[in-house]
Chain A
Amino acid sequence: MIVFEGVVKRYGATEALKGATFTVPKGVVAGLLGPNGAGKTTTIKIAAGLLRRDGGRVSVLGLDPWEQGEELRERVGVLHERPAYPPDVPVKVLLRHLARIRGLGWEDALRAARLAGVERYLDHTTSSLSRGYLQRLGLAIALLGEPELLLLDEPTANLDPSARQEVLTAIKTLGEEMGATVVISSHIIPEMEQVCSYAVIISKGVTAVQGSLTDLATALGAEVEFVVQARNPRLLASLLISDDGVRSVEVDGNRVVARAGSRVRQRVEALLEEARARGLAASWDVRSRSLGEVYEKAVQASR
């Protein structure tokens, strides 16, 4: 879906990207993570065809963003970090024009406004909206036409805690319900942990690591979670906690969640196979909730 190969971008003497190489597969919610100045915004803008790369190869949805930007952006929605809107233009006028550029009608614009929660502010001018509602307007614009790919640059910036949560939930829902691939640039790790299943960590203009959160956690020795559908939760929990590598076990109805270091992942999986054979467990899933740990290790390793 997104392929960056040795991408270089310079601003005068400053090299923002120094050969970034990564891929984002179709259907994931990917976090583009990195410290301030790592090159996240530049990456998003190159992927959207708004900036020209100075070297390397970029392919988004099979298209070259700089050369085939118009065709690409028919299928992509973009939210910018600090979007600037024409002042004193009513929200509905702006949305209607942007929808028309996409060949959409007013109903489509209204639907995007509802999804982003700005439908009550359609008659307000852009200059009268708070930062939070400007961010929601940006989200509505990005959602116009229900694109296949959403590129969101710091989508929760400037939002209060409840609005942040709403936006995160909306992003997760969109990823799941629309089947869209979502790339979110951010440095707020706890938020990304809630929504992302895939991560690309950039540091100083190069890709530090990339992959699914579970694979990254395994590779970097971070904690992983085993979410088990149990047939006998109590007995399964006592079996798991008796293993030295398992750090904690929680029981919630028929669900048992065990946390362990990724280095003992194979041992715990063997234990779960044994439990399944004994009729204690039905199935399980391994996931990572330790993006912060992964991030720290990846950034430190790249220094």
Chain B
Amino acid sequence: MRRRFRLRVRASRLATYSSFVAETLGGSLTVAAAVLSALAFLFVLFLAPVGAPSSGLFAVLFFTNVGYSVIALSGASAMVSDLRGSAQVFLSQPLSRTIYALAWLVALLASMIAVFSALLLSLAVIDPGLLGTLSLSIALAWLLDSALLSLLLLAAALLLRRTSVLVITWAAVEFGVFLLFFSEQLAQAVVVLRPLYGVLSHGGAVDTPVLAGSVLLAAALLALLYWLARARLEV
């Protein structure tokens, strides 16, 4: 009974703090997500033809993915600033270190879902038939790709607390992977971190083992984030 009560209290604190992060600390996240959603609509309008999966549709997917990666970078940078400043005010409240870190993750993932939902809505508004061209594996690849980057950036923010490290990590994930595609073996490994690139190499579909590998990697990064918050988050 008491355990259930504490769980409910913790869930309420997570919701309260993540809404504060989204509203105020990461206010730019909301604005950026809205702008990106509007741009996604225009891109869908101009690039995605009616009918079968096309390079135009993939271009829209990649554009929104890169756009969200910028949002994730700005969110993780806001967390670094917070860790150097107002985090001690919040962590002096009955807010555990793990809930603090998870609240930032929740705020980022909420932006991610908002961007992806806007993309789906754009497809549905322009031509409902376009939704059929977006397979479940592609949708999952987009979501996993973005979630993995969010987890990686937040873990780097907690571990090193430097914006410059975040920018390097972001650039390495966004652009460094292209270099690795020169090697077939490395490319297979990298695609687990960037499952959306599987769309390129497999012509519009992503292998289930790749998605499973990405899910496992996301779970590992989530565990790392949890451990970093629990064991190393001092303010």
- Using a CB–CB cutoff of 8 Å, the interface residues on chain A facing chain B are 45, 48, 50-52, 69-71, 73-74, 78, 80, 83-86, 89, 93, 97-98, 100-103, 138, 141, 144
Contacts and interface: CB of A to CB of B under 8 A. Distances in A.
Given A50-B91, A86-B25, A97-B20, A103 B12 contact: yes
B183 interface: no
Nearest to A142: B92
A101 B90 contact: yes
B41 interface: no
A52 B234 contact: yes
B161 interface: no
Contact of A50 (B17, B82, B92): B92
A185 to B, nearest CB: 14
Interface of B: 9-10, 12-13, 16-17, 20, 24-25, 82, 84-86, 88-97, 99, 234-235
Nearest to B16: A100
A85 B88 CA distance: 9
Nearest to A144: B93
A86 B82 contact: yes
Nearest to B25: A86
Contacts of B9: 103
B89 A101 contact: no
13 contacts: A48-B92, A50-B235, A51-B235, A70-B10, A83-B89, A84-B84, A84-B89, A89-B24, A93-B24, A101-B13, A101-B90, A102-B93, A141-B89
B16 to A, nearest CB: 5
A50 B234 CA distance: 6
B86 A84 contact: yes
Looking at A50, A52, A141, the one whose CB has the most chain B CB atoms below 10 A away is A50
Contacts of A103: 9, 12
A97 to B, nearest CB: 5
A85 B25 CA distance: 10
The 7 closest A-B pairs by CB, nearest first: A84-B85, A78-B92, A70-B96, A74-B94, A73-B94, A100-B16, A97-B20
Most buried by B among A69, A86, A89, A138: A86
B86 A50 contact: no
Contacts of B84: 84
Q: Dominant SS at the B interface? A: helix
Contact of B94 (A50, A52, A71, A138): A71
B211 to A, nearest CB: 35
B83 to A, nearest CB: 11
Given A80-B89, A84-B89, A86-B82, A101 B94 contact: yes
Contacts of A69: 96-97
A86 B94 contact: no
Most chain A Cβ neighbours within 10 Å, of B10, B82, B91, B97: B91
Contact of A85 (B12, B89, B96, B97): B89
A167 B97 CA distance: 30
A103 B95 CA distance: 11
A222 B82 CA distance: 46
A303 to B, nearest CB: 30
A83 B88 contact: yes
Nearest to B24: A89
Contacts of B10: 70
Interface centre among A52, A100, A103 (most CB of B within 10 A): A100
A85 B234 contact: no
A103 B13 CA distance: 8
A101 B16 contact: yes
A73 B93 contact: yes
A100 to B, nearest CB: 5
A98 B93 contact: yes
B91 A86 contact: no
A103 B234 CA distance: 24
A50 B93 contact: no
A101 B86 contact: no
